């Protein structure tokens, strides 16, 4: 998923395949990184921990990215493998 510029991201929510909220990244805990030193390409970094601090289980997760300049959130899927 292409991320909007960092200053436009409201939050990134991560859900498990059952639809349960696993983690939420926002201004207070979101780490963004440039990809290939390109100022237009960014990646959000999730530490793999749930909201209660436990390591997330292996499996498929769904990301929901809400930005200030888009009415509809972006969604995507990714896997966690231990």
Pair of tokens at residue 60 = 């498929």
For residue range 16-67, list pLDDT tens digits in order: 999 999 999 876 666 666 655 555 566 778 889 999 999 999 999 999 999 8
Question: For residue 1, what pLDDT band results from cuts at 50, 70 and 90?
Answer: low
pLDDT value of residue 40:
58
**Per-residue H/E/C for 11-34:** EEEEEECCCCEEEEECCCCCEEEE
pLDDT value of residue 30:
67
């Amino acid at each position: 998923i292409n991320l909007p510029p960092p200053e436009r991201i409201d939050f990134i929510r991560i859900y498990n395949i059952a639809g349960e909220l696993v983690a939420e990244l926002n201004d207070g805990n979101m780490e963004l990184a440039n990809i290939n030193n390109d100022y237009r390409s960014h990646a959000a970094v999730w530490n793999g921990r749930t909201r209660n601090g436990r390591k997330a289980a292996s499996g498929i997760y769904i990301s929901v990215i809400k930005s200030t300049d888009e009415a509809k959130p972006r969604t995507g899927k990714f896997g966690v493998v231990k």
